[in-house]
């Protein structure tokens, strides 16, 4: 298969979105760029034949997490206030950038020298159906699935309690979104 053209385009879109999300000045712009990055990744998954993962990525990241981030930005007055400096010129900031560069260098070296990466040559795209994924989730991975469900419930309740305003005796119905509206 090689590096196909569509893969290249999607990779550039994802990376450009990521860079923009981490460098733009206004927080809402960052969030929107982040969405581009998430969507690009979802398309990459689809391109790699992982249909279910790609669509789940789209549904969860673009549909939910991006919206959550945007809500958080607006609720913390990040949407209108002073745009913060794109990169703080503090020593800590420079150190962070250097650390990231070093991590990238190490990772690239690892990928370049790894025998696995070189061996993974063109394989025919695996034909997975939704049915197989469903059976895998419900049979082989049913315990992790239940744990995840429990964790999501706990996170839901935790998020509601955290975001709930103190000193107010309102019933804790609804979810984080509802809280967001009230705040």
Partner 1 sequence: MISAGAVDQVFVTLKDWIVFHTPAPLQTLVSIVIEVATIIVVFAALFALTTVFERKGLGRMQNRYGPNRVGPFGVFQPIADAVKSLTKEDVVPRAADHVVHYLAPLVLVGVVFLTYAVLPVGRNMTAVNLDAGVLYFFAVGAATELAVFMAGWSSHNKYSLLGAMRAIAQMISYEIPLILSSVPVIMMAGTLSMVGIVEQQARTSGGLAHWNVFTPWGLAGFILFMIAATAETNRSPFDLPEGESEIIAGYFIEYSGFKFALFFLAEYLEMFAVSGLGITLFLGGWSAPFSFLGWIPSWIWFFGKLLTLIFGFIWVRGTVPRLRMDQLMNFAWKFMLPMTLIVIFSAGLWRFLSAAVVGPMPLGGVIRWLVCALVILAPYITLARGLERGRRIEKRVYRYAE
Partner 2 sequence: MTPLAGCLLVSALLFSIGLAGALTRRSAILVLAGIELMLNAANLNFIAFWRFGAHPEFLTGLIFVIFSIAVAAAEAAVGLALILAIYRHARTSDVSEITEMKG
User: Is residue 181 within the footprint of partner 2 (CB under 8 A)?
Assistant: no
**Binding to partner 2, residues 137-166 (CB under 8 A):** 137, 141, 144-145, 148, 151-152, 154-156, 158-160, 162-163, 165
Going by C-alpha positions, the residue among 14, 10, 33, 36 that lies closest to residue 22 is 33
Query: Would you state the structure tokens that stand for residue 89, as one six-digit string?
Result: 């010129």
User: Is residue 7 within the footprint of partner 1 (CB under 8 A)?
Assistant: no
- The helix (run of H) or strand (run of E) holding residue 35 is helix 27-47
The count of residues interacting with partner 1 (CB under 8 A) is 31
User: Is residue 130 within the footprint of partner 2 (CB under 8 A)?
Assistant: no
Query: Would you state the structure tokens that stand for residue 100, as one six-digit string?
Result: 């990231």
User: Is residue 43 within the footprint of partner 1 (CB under 8 A)?
Assistant: no
For residues 12 and 41, the answer to whether their CB atoms sit within 8 Å is no
Distance CA 175, CA 159 (A): 8
**Binding to partner 2, residues 67-96 (CB under 8 A):** 68-69, 71-73, 75-76, 78, 84-85, 87-88, 90, 92-93, 95-96
In three-state secondary structure terms, 171 is: coil
User: Is residue 23 within the footprint of partner 1 (CB under 8 A)?
Assistant: no
User: Is residue 19 within the footprint of partner 2 (CB under 8 A)?
Assistant: yes
Q: Which does 178 bind (CB under 5 to 8 A by kind): partner 2, partner 1, none?
A: partner 1
In three-state secondary structure terms, 51 is: helix
Number of neighbouring beta carbons within 10 Å of residue 88: 11
For residues 124 and 137, the answer to whether their CB atoms sit within 8 Å is no
Contact region with partner 1 (CB under 8 A), list: 70-78, 109-117, 118-126, 145-153: 70-78
For residue 139, the minimal CB distance to partner 2 (Å) is: 11
């Amino acid at each position: 298969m090689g590096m196909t053209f569509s893969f290249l385009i999607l990779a550039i879109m994802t990376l450009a979105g990521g860079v923009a999300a981490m460098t733009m000045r206004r927080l809402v712009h960052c969030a929107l760029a982040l969405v581009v990055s998430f969507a690009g990744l979802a398309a990459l998954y689809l391109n790699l034949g992982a249909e279910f993962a790609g669509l789940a990525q789209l549904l969860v990241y673009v549909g939910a997490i991006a919206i959550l981030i945007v809500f958080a930005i607006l609720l913390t007055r990040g949407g209108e206030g002073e745009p913060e400096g794109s990169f703080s010129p503090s020593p800590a900031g420079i150190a962070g950038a250097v650390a990231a560069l070093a991590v990238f260098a190490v990772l690239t070296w690892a990928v370049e020298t790894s025998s696995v990466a070189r061996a993974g040559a063109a394989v025919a795209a695996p034909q997975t159906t939704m049915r197989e994924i469903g059976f895998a989730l419900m049979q082989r991975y049913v315990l992790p699935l239940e744990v995840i469900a429990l964790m999501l419930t706990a996170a839901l309740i935790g998020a509601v309690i955290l975001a709930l305003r103190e000193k107010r005796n309102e019933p804790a119905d609804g979810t984080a979104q509802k809280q967001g509206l009230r705040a």
